Structure 1
């Protein structure tokens, strides 16, 4: 089913790996189709609780593979280009819209849309050779995949404009200092999986509903209304009951789950 992407599940964690190391995991049309399919699989699989996104050979994604790109203005209509870009945007759309937590393990360049894929994840772990770069302006383009929407919400408008308007690299140290990354690890994939396992050990419905509540576009009153509904869901969840019992009995909780 997959050629450009690896999709693996283990103990409730789905790991999606962009697997084109010969071009620093830059994507082509096929890659985008497969990424969207893998994210749908992870979202719909009831045995998956956390998603890790990474790149092969300690990398991430260097953006679009320019060697496979046509002459946009000469070979495509507006409608053709809009359809192509919608597919790239849909990777970001799916990551942003998924209740299951997503974690990016960034070991190398995350450039252009690759940067946006990392920013769209809920959490990020970076390696010493990682860099995030919204480099669209350097090649005469705009951040068409979500970067100018995502970055200001993560680091603030002024800092986001600095990176968006200059195309400067966001270093691993910057990522941690700005709160973009949870931590810098020598092995960022191992760090992302460890973080996924930490989240996996918690009541799954509470994790997903909490993730859904983090919505900077909603008003406080909208938040409160949603929180009532979500809290009621959690109160009636078996894992909530088990977590309370385990806490009272001073033991580790045991959740009845069927992992993929």
Structure 2
């Protein structure tokens, strides 16, 4: 069955994945979460895809959970929100962090709740000047999910993470850049061009090597120094056996620009 809420297309080595529920600011229901997970799995398995660009249709990136989708019917028990987190959001965040290809988020408008943390799970965030990030969970008595309590302190430190999570104030894109949370801020009209150019640049780089960098960074979040040194040894061994490493060395010796194939 064709996806209804997520659009995917591939060109120039980049899989462009668009959240497509603009009438509700691309907020999540279970179907959209499943479709996004499937789109990321397809990008991971496709050797022609060497980078991923994730964005939202319309005027928002993603407003988080569609609350209308979790309201119980009359007389029915309240849904278990832990089940929703486990089944809908956790698989998407894991997919973004474990796909061994770079992922660029093009944040075109508001990124709220799980939508904000979805963006922060990407490798690069390029945001419009009109974009903002909101940890909106506290306003309805919830906690930051989708990796929010994990990534926020690592991005900005405990004090600022607490501020964002407990006050739920809107963080403009420019301030997010100043705090080191995102990669780049551009004028709204330039967002698609800037994010696409970055994704294409990454797609032309040694994909296996970038994937191993990502694997190493993920592992380093929970490792001791000795554990990470040993892990790096194994990653470097694997990187040294790739065709792109061989091409990079040849190009260096021959004083030319390398042509990487992602192998």
TM-score (norm 1): 0.92
Which of residues 186, 190, 195 in structure 2 aligns to 1:192?
195
- Counterpart CA distance in 2 for 1:42 and 1:131 is 27
Maintained 8 Å contact 2:12/2:200 = no
Give yes or no for the alignment of 1:105 onto 2:110.
no
Residue 82 of structure 1: aligned partner: 82
> Aligned in 2, Cα 1:74/1:141: closer, same or farther, shift over 3 Å?
farther
- Counterpart CA distance in 2 for 1:232 and 1:15 is 32
Deviation at 1:74, TM superposition (A): 6.2
Deviation at 1:43, TM superposition (A): 1.6
Residue 224 of structure 1: aligned partner: 229
Deviation per CA, 1:147-189, whole angstroms, max 9, x where unpaired? 1111111111111111001001111111110111111012333
Would you say how many aligned residue pairs link Structure 1 and Structure 2?
A: 257
Maintained 8 Å contact 2:105/2:122 = yes
- Counterpart CA distance in 1 for 2:205 and 2:231 is 21
- Counterpart CA distance in 2 for 1:72 and 1:106 is 34
Q: Which secondary structure does the structure 1 equivalent of 2:48 belong to? A: coil
| Structure 2 unaligned residues grouped into runs of 5+ | none
Residue 212 of structure 1: aligned partner: 215
1:237-252 paired onto structure 2 within 5 Å: 237-252=242-257
Deviation at 1:134, TM superposition (A): 0.5
Q: Which secondary structure does the structure 2 equivalent of 1:221 belong to? A: helix
TM-score (norm 2): 0.91
- Counterpart CA distance in 2 for 1:16 and 1:139 is 29
- Counterpart CA distance in 1 for 2:225 and 2:73 is 43
Maintained 8 Å contact 1:106/1:189 = no
Deviation at 1:212, TM superposition (A): 1.1
| Structure 1 unaligned residues grouped into runs of 5+ | none
> Aligned in 2, Cα 1:33/1:170: closer, same or farther, shift over 3 Å?
same
